[in-house]
C-alpha cells in the first residue's frame, strides 16, 4: 500500500453515485473517489458483477482511473457465484484501498456476490482498513441493507408497485434510488417510504454522488442533487387500500441537498475529517437522525 494510502483517515468512505458520472471532462466524482482511496498510488478493485457486458465496463473504468493516475487496478469479474467465493480473489480485494462497483442490474449483483467471501472482503476492507467503497447506478442501489429490487416510476405513488430485496448493507435504514430526477422517480421513492416508513429514501441524480465519511458526516458532489424522503412520522392509509391505489400520505418530510452541501455530526465538528470546511456548520435537527443512520460505523440490520 502506498504511503499516501496509509496516511488517509481510517474512518472509511462510501461514494454513492446516481449513475452517468462524468468520465471525460472534470471527472469530479471519480477524482474524489480516487482521492479518498489514497490517491494515484492506491490499489483499486473494479467489480463488474452487475453488468452483462463486463469487458466493456472494465475497459471504461480502467481507462478513466488510468487517466486519473491510478496504475494498480484489480479486475474482478464474477461470471458465476462460485467465483465470488474464491478465497484468493477475496483476499486480494480485502487488501485494496478502493473498491468500485459498476452499473448494470442490482439484482444480478446481489445474486452473484451477496453473502459470499467477496462480500465479506469488501466489508472488511471498509471497516478494518478504512478503504473507500464506490458504486454507480446499480452499484449505488446495492449499498444499502434494503435494496430496491423492482419498481415502476409512474407519476403517483402506487401501493404494491415496488419491492425490496436484501442489499450489501454498507448503510442501514435507508433505501437508495439512482438516475433520480432524470427518470422522475420521486413517486416510487414515496411508494417505498409509504410501505416501509422506518426507512428513509435517498434519491441521487445522475453525475451526482453522496459521499459518506463513516462516523463523521456527508457531502454532495457533482452536478445534481440528493433528495431525502423521511416518512417516519407519516400518517397513511396504505395498509387499508387495495393494490394499485394511491395512498394518502401526510407529514412526509422532503430534504433537497444540492452539490456543495456537506454536514458533519454535531459531536464531530472540530475533529479531524476529510469533509469540506463548510461541513463544520451545524446540521438542521431534521437531518441529524439521517446523518447518524447513513454514517454509522458498524451498521446492523
- C-alpha span between 151 and 128 (Å, rounded): 35
Q: Which residues contact 13 (CB under 8 A, 6 or more apart)?
A: 36, 130, 132, 133, 211, 212, 213, 214, 274
The three cell numbers of residue 24 are: 471525460
267 by Cβ neighbours in 10 Å (0-12 / 13-18 / 19+) ranks as exposed
Residue among 11, 13, 146, 179 flagged as catalytic: 179
Mark whether 11 is an active-site residue: no
Is residue 182 part of the annotated active site? The answer reads no
Quick one: angle between helices 87-94 and 117-129, nearest 10?
20
Active site residue 161: no
Catalytic residue among 137, 141, 236, 279: 137
Of residues 39, 296, 22, the one with CA closest to residue 170? 296
User: Rounded to whole angstroms, how far apart are CA atoms 177 and 32?
Assistant: 21
User: Residue 270: which residues within 8 A CB-CB, separation 6 or more?
Assistant: 280
Residue positions annotated with a catalytic role: 137, 179, 206
Amino acid at each position: 500500500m502506498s504511503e499516501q494510502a496509509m496516511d488517509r483517515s481510517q474512518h472509511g468512505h462510501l461514494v454513492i453515485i446516481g449513475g452517468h458520472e462524468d468520465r471525460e471532462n472534470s471527472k469530479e466524482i471519480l477524482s474524489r473517489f480516487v482521492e479518498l482511496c489514497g490517491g494515484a498510488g492506491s490499489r483499486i478493485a473494479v467489480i463488474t458483477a452487475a453488468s452483462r457486458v463486463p469487458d466493456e465496463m472494465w475497459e471504461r473504468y480502467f481507462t478513466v482511473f488510468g487517466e486519473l493516475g491510478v496504475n494498480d487496478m484489480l479486475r474482478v469479474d464474477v461470471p458465476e457465484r462460485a467465483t465470488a467465493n474464491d478465497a484468493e480473489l477475496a483476499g486480494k480485494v480485502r487488501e485494496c484501498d478502493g473498491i468500485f462497483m459498476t452499473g448494470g442490474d442490482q439484482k444480478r449483483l446481489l445474486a452473484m456476490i451477496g453473502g459470499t467471501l467477496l462480500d465479506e472482503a469488501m466489508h472488511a476492507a471498509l471497516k478494518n482498513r478504512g478503504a473507500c467503497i464506490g458504486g454507480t447506478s446499480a452499484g449505488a442501489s446495492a449499498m444499502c441493507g434494503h435494496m430496491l429490487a423492482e419498481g415502476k416510476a409512474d407519476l403517483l405513488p402506487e401501493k404494491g408497485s415496488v419491492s425490496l430485496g436484501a442489499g450489501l448493507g454498507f448503510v442501514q435504514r435507508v433505501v437508495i434510488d439512482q438516475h433520480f430526477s432524470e427518470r422522475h422517480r420521486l413517486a416510487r421513492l414515496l411508494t417505498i417510504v409509504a410501505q416501509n416508513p422506518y426507512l428513509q429514501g435517498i434519491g441521487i441524480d445522475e453525475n451526482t454522488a453522496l459521499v459518506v465519511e463513516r462516523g463523521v458526516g456527508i457531502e454532495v458532489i457533482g452536478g445534481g442533487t440528493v433528495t431525502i424522503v423521511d416518512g417516519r412520522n407519516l400518517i397513511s392509509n396504505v395498509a387499508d387500500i387495495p393494490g394499485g391505489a394511491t395512498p394518502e400520505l401526510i407529514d412526509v418530510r422532503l430534504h433537497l441537498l444540492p452539490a456543495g452541501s456537506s454536514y458533519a455530526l454535531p459531536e464531530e465538528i472540530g475533529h479531524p475529517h476529510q469533509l469540506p470546511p463548510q461541513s463544520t456548520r451545524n446540521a438542521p435537527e431534521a437531518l441529524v437522525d439521517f446523518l447518524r443512520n447513513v454514517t454509522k460505523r458498524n451498521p446492523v440490520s
